[in-house]
């Protein structure tokens, strides 16, 4: 059975600061009286024009000062409305998703003691062929067919422990995420290059199905009727994502019967996200082609297997199709499938 293992920038809250300035009183210019005689009349006219220009300039300065004061000191009503529209954030407010960097919910810490003392934080999930964790110069891989650690590389130290050398004690399962806690203890194991004997211990958060924790999820499998024959499946897994190994047009996958004699062929279009049943192979050679568009599926989600996979039920009742040496047959049934978006 294939084991399949859901930025934030910085947000600054700004409080409005009101700057209040004191206005200075302005005294109007005094009138200067000049003697009324012919000799000083021209002088008087020039003085009056000068005083008029000076007064106009002075009043311009006053107007500018008042205008700046209006900008710096907002109207109380407007200020109140603005404050009501954007209240200050509190510690109990919901934090936007863009507040924190993206991190996986899987990971944890391992501590080494013995000939080497060190601590490693694992925070990145590895799913290329087998499930693992890495971080801080450390890598940890799990077996694909049992809840066991099969390889560890810890900053220059390498271990390939036997199944009984590392004890994994399952803890609590978060069924919503499909993640379970587990205590790990590898007592006095030797580096393969003879660089020391250490004890490795820690608590990890792992994909629940990797350590056998599925909660109430039913096992994958089902039965499919092909004419008069019933095909029995005890395992079923499909990939419905995108990746470097996925064709740009379509991806064909098979689900094999428990006796490995027959299988179903599914086509997945990564562009449209549509999964269809394309064909049935009976006893290794009889082909039942379900047409160019395939047979549509009715899908029902059962629950989360791990952060990258769900258990779904695919049901189908395909129109009669021609089978090699069998004439026309009807294909119908349902499968519980471990469906992954990463591999």
Tens digit of each residue's pLDDT (9 = 90 or more) over 292-305:
889 999 999 999 99
Q: Cβ neighbours of residue 323 under 8 Å, at least 6 residues apart?
A: 226, 227, 280, 282, 286, 287, 288, 329
Q: At residue 47, does pLDDT exceed 80?
A: no
> Any idea which of 82-86, 94-98, 126-130 has the lowest mean pLDDT?
94-98
In sequence order, the β-bridge partners of residue 205 are 107, 181
d(Cα 155, Cα 148) in Å, to the nearest integer?
21
Residue found under tokens 């469906």: 339
Q: At residue 97, does pLDDT exceed 90?
A: no
The pLDDT value recorded for residue 265 is: 95
Among 269, 271, 310, which residue's Cα sits nearest to residue 292?
A: 269
d(Cα 289, Cα 14) in Å, to the nearest integer?
64
The pLDDT value recorded for residue 102 is: 30
Mean pLDDT of the chain, nearest integer? 75
In sequence order, the β-bridge partners of residue 337 are 312
Q: If you compute the radius of gyration of the chain from its CA atoms, what whole number of angstroms results? A: 38
The residue-averaged pLDDT of 26-37 equals: 36
d(Cα 202, Cα 323) in Å, to the nearest integer?
56
d(Cα 317, Cα 336) in Å, to the nearest integer?
15
Is residue 113 within a helix (H) or strand (E), and if so which, with residue range?
A: strand 107-114
Q: At residue 169, does pLDDT exceed 70?
A: yes
pLDDT in tens, 247-273: 555 688 999 999 999 999 999 988 888
Alpha-carbon distances, residue 178 vs 89, 173, 292 (angstroms): 33, 7, 36
> Any idea which of 86-90, 108-112, 217-221, 334-338 has the lowest mean pLDDT?
86-90
Q: At residue 329, does pLDDT exceed 50?
A: yes
Residues in the chain: 343
Q: Cβ neighbours of residue 256 under 8 Å, at least 6 residues apart?
A: 233, 235, 262, 263
Domain ranges of the chain: 29-100, 107-211, 221-340
Contact 110, 154 (CB under 8 A): yes
Q: At residue 49, does pLDDT exceed 70?
A: no
The pLDDT value recorded for residue 145 is: 83
Among 150, 127, 133, 129, which residue's Cα sits nearest to residue 204?
A: 133
Grouping H, G, I as helix, E, B as strand and the rest as coil, residue 329 is strand
The pLDDT value recorded for residue 249 is: 59
Q: What percent of the chain has pLDDT over 70?
A: 67
pLDDT in tens, 174-194: 999 999 999 999 999 999 999
Q: How many CB atoms lie within 10 A of CB 153?
A: 15
Q: At residue 37, does pLDDT exceed 70?
A: no
Q: At residue 236, does pLDDT exceed 70?
A: yes
Q: What percent of the chain has pLDDT over 90?
A: 53
The pLDDT value recorded for residue 343 is: 59
């Amino acid at each position: 059975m294939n084991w399949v293992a859901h930025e934030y920038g910085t947000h600054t809250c700004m409080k409005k600061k009101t700057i209040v300035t004191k206005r200075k009183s302005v005294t109007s210019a005094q009138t200067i009286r000049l003697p009324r005689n012919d000799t000083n009349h021209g002088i008087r006219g020039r003085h009056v024009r000068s005083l008029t220009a000076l007064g106009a300039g002075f009043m311009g300065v006053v107007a500018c000062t008042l205008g700046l004061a209006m900008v710096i000191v907002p109207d109380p009503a407007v200020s109140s409305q603005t404050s009501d529209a954007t209240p200050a954030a509190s510690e109990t407010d919901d934090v936007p998703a863009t507040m924190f960097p993206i991190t996986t919910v899987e990971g944890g810490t391992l501590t080494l003691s013995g000939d080497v003392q060190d601590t490693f934080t694992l925070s990145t999930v590895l799913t290329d062929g087998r499930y693992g964790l890495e971080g801080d110069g450390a890598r940890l891989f799990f077996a694909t067919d049992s809840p066991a650690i099969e390889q560890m590389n810890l900053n220059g130290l390498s271990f390939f422990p036997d199944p009984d050398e590392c004890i994994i004690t399952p803890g609590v399962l978060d069924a919503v995420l499909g993640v379970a806690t587990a205590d790990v203890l590898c007592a006095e194991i030797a580096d393969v290059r003879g660089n020391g004997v250490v004890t490795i211990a820690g608590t990890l958060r792992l994909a629940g199905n990797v350590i056998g924790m599925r909660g109430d999820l039913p096992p994958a499998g089902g039965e499919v009727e092909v004419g008069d024959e019933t095909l029995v499946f005890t395992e079923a897994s499909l990939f419905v994502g995108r990746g470097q190994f996925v064709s740009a047009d379509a991806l064909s996958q098979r689900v094999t019967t428990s006796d490995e004699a027959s299988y179903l062929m599914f086509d997945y279009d990564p562009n449209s996200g549509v999964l269809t049943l394309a064909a049935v192979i009976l006893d290794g050679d009889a082909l039942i082609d379900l047409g160019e568009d395939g047979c549509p599926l009715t899908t029902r989600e059962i629950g989360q297997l791990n952060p990258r996979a769900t258990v779904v039920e695919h049901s189908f009742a395909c129109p009669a199709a021609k089978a090699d040496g069998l004439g026309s047959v009807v294909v119908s049934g349902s499968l519980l499938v471990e469906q992954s978006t990463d591999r």
